[in-house]
Structure 1
Amino acid sequence: MKKLRRLLFPFSFIYALVIYLRNKLFDAGILTSAAGSLPTLVVGNVHVGGTGKTPHTRFFLSQLSDLNPAVLSRGYGRSSKGFIEVDLSMPVEKTGDEIRLYKRSHPRAKAVVCEDRLTGVQRIKESGHEGIVILDDAMQHRKLMPDALVALVRADSLHELDLYLPAGDLRDGKYRLKKADAVIITGWNPAMDDVVKESELRALLRLDASTPLFKSQIAYGTLSPLQQDSVQQRDDIKRIILVTGIAHPAGLHTQISKEHTIVEHFHYRDHASFDASDLESWRTALANHNADAIITTEKDLVRMEGLSNVETLPIWYQPMTVEIEGAETLTTLLRKKLNRP
């Protein structure tokens, strides 16, 4: 697959040139950027997929809760258009999965989808909201000039951030990381602290000493059932079917394998929609493997909940949060950026 992608290098050159010129036009003020009508924190990345924007956005929703955060997403994969304030009675097809997960974990926070981030922030203010707005995946939406920008880079991609789409994974220039108020290397293994020096990391990312650099890792919570009144006990779950629709499930697979035997793994593309035929495939796999339960992610769960008869399957989900080294320093920095005069 990698060799095939390398054949697309000429198209990557064209893509890189377009992105470079676009960024230059914004930097020069020929294409205009404007601050949001409320203080904004953007969580983004320069390469595609799997950097952990969702758990990091949830982290900031919790850590900055006293600033009354609303959360704004474009609503990736949704069937609707325009500005929608989300509530959990809406089908996931109308809202997208990520925003529903934010609302599910932070029910008091205003949750909104809108393709145009400037318009979205303005509409949030017009609704009477007083506080900040956290935007996931808006680093490339340069019409909005954020008060604070946090860029995420996946640890296992540090040596691969050289080629642009479609030959590589870069969706934006690595040079844009210098514009971030903080850069977080996600999926970091603390054992690497004694092997890789910070100066080497900064060299790989082309960061100078002035850009705050942090590291984070996934923290796994307690396995929980889809049905809260489930009679099935956690300790009775031995053999499981794993179902994932996330970009990089390897870490989860390793974590689940520590306590359970994975007899089959249904791995779908990121944000994949599930339907009745998928449910039947999982039901068949449970029977064929004499498995005890299905384990999935919380993000995948929100795309399953509305399916007919899903409650007849023994589904458990694995909560995932993040732990950020130097979290207090990071949140203090962001508070200063978000504190408009």
Structure 2
Amino acid sequence: MLQLLRKIAFPFSLVYGLVVHLRNFLYDTGVFKSHTYNTPTLCVGNLSVGGTGKTPMIEFLVRMFKGHTIAVLSRGYKRQSKGFLWADANSSVLDLGDEPYQLHQKFPEITVAVDADRRNGITQLENKVKPELILLDDAFQHRRVKPNFSILLTSYGNLYVDDWYLPTGDLRDSKREAKRADCIIVTKCPKNLSQSEKNRIQHKLKPLPHQKVLFATLEYSTILKGEVENLSLPDIKKKKVTLVTGIAQPEPLVQYLQSEGVLFEHYKFGDHHHFSESDIQKFRDHALILTTEKDYVRLQGRVKNLFYVEVAHSFGTEDHLFLEETLKSLI
């Protein structure tokens, strides 16, 4: 039914695409201005709506720059607050949005802030924190800021070159805008991806001479983290497990759990889903509830026996070295 509705909406996607092209044209010709800043800025984003692994990539970069004074600036998607907001001890997931709150909880040593106006957010950070580097989360479309380096993510199972504009497809920006990326990372790749398959993908993406294409896989932890205790994956193989997800693409996690022999019932919700009391009633009393880290921060304290699976991007040796050498030269 959804696919049929998407096809019916094709004329709307043409209008959407026209608006996107016009906006980019106005920036490309200088009618709309892009600003640079004294503080180095590193942008992580995509051309589609969700599902490419932006938050694990931000976490990867936070770990890479450990020991440096860095800040993460996000718009705080679906938060209930407005304007610029610092993450502090009194912040909640409703104030910041799930992804910034997750980063704040996981990396309390760094500065996390939210502001839909990235220019104002950068100015606030420069004036009060003076970080060595600002990570711009999900800011590829925010052309009012011209970052020092841009990382464009695209998932292996849904390359942007194979996609189409919303609402028929998942693209929120033109495929041509990939030209603004300094590095394109194909995420969620199968393990042991062959060189011939990498070559095939590179041929489809047609990177420009200055662009580097890298490949990453998702690595799931075998330790399931909970508020009171942690469990190992073997601990739950004989238990009745309920999987609850509110992310764009839960399929990799589903496949991972199945490959590990975990039997579960799956409650699947939309990306950034706000769990209502009626939603929670469906699984509140279940014996063991497993979820993603992003969903955990929205469910924590509302259900018992709640655990999450950590996920991280993993790169081959050469790709990892390229990222480390290239990005650390920014500061």
Same fold (TM over 0.5): yes
Distance across 1 between alignment mates of 2:170 and 2:205: 14
3-state SS, counterpart of residue 299 of structure 1: helix
Which segment is superposed worse, 250-259 or 77-86? 250-259
Are residues 319 and 88 of structure 1, via their aligned partners in 2, closer, same or farther at CA, if it must alter by over 3 Å? farther
User: What is the 5 A alignment of 1:145-184?
Assistant: 145-158=146-159, 161-184=162-185
Are residues 332 and 242 of structure 1, via their aligned partners in 2, closer, same or farther at CA, if it must alter by over 3 Å? same
Distance across 1 between alignment mates of 2:229 and 2:13: 52
Paired position in structure 1 for 2:326: 333
Distance across 2 between alignment mates of 1:160 and 1:131: 34
Structure 1 residue 283 displacement after superposition: 3.1
Confirm or deny: 8 A CA contact 2:54 2:137 kept in the other structure. yes
Structure 1 unaligned regions, length at least 5: 287-291
Distance across 1 between alignment mates of 2:151 and 2:232: 40
Paired position in structure 1 for 2:297: 302
Paired position in structure 2 for 1:215: 215
Paired position in structure 2 for 1:39: 40
Structure 1 residue 171 displacement after superposition: 1.0
Structure 1 residue 6 displacement after superposition: 2.0
Are residues 197 and 277 of structure 1, via their aligned partners in 2, closer, same or farther at CA, if it must alter by over 3 Å? closer
Distance across 2 between alignment mates of 1:94 and 1:159: 32
- Aligned AA for 2:23? R
- Aligned AA for 1:318? V
Distance across 2 between alignment mates of 1:182 and 1:105: 26
Distance across 1 between alignment mates of 2:130 and 2:255: 42
Deviations 1:55-83 (A, max 9, x none): 00110111122332100100000011000
- Aligned AA for 1:78? R
Are residues 154 and 52 of structure 1, via their aligned partners in 2, closer, same or farther at CA, if it must alter by over 3 Å? same
Structure 2 unaligned regions, length at least 5: none
Q: Percent identity?
A: 36
Deviations 1:208-256 (A, max 9, x none): 34311101111111333422347x7764422311011111111101112
Confirm or deny: 8 A CA contact 1:161 1:174 kept in the other structure. no
User: What is the 5 A alignment of 1:93-242?
Assistant: 93-158=94-159, 161-198=162-199, 200-229=200-229, 235-237=234-236, 238=238, 239-242=240-243
Confirm or deny: 8 A CA contact 2:224 2:232 kept in the other structure. no
1:321 equivalent among 304, 312, 318: 312
3-state SS, counterpart of residue 116 of structure 2: coil
Confirm or deny: 8 A CA contact 2:223 2:232 kept in the other structure. no
Distance across 2 between alignment mates of 1:57 and 1:228: 27
3-state SS, counterpart of residue 216 of structure 2: strand
- Aligned AA for 1:120? G
Structure 1 residue 127 displacement after superposition: 1.1
Paired position in structure 2 for 1:289: none
- Normalising by structure 2, we get a TM-score of 0.92
Structure 1 residue 158 displacement after superposition: 2.3
Distance across 2 between alignment mates of 1:335 and 1:40: 12
User: What is the 5 A alignment of 1:25-104?
Assistant: 25-104=26-105
- Normalising by structure 1, we get a TM-score of 0.89
Deviations 1:95-126 (A, max 9, x none): 10000111122110000000100110110111
3-state SS, counterpart of residue 145 of structure 1: coil
Distance across 1 between alignment mates of 2:80 and 2:284: 28
Are residues 81 and 259 of structure 1, via their aligned partners in 2, closer, same or farther at CA, if it must alter by over 3 Å? same
CA-based RMSD: 2.0
3-state SS, counterpart of residue 162 of structure 2: coil
Structure 1 residue 205 displacement after superposition: 2.0
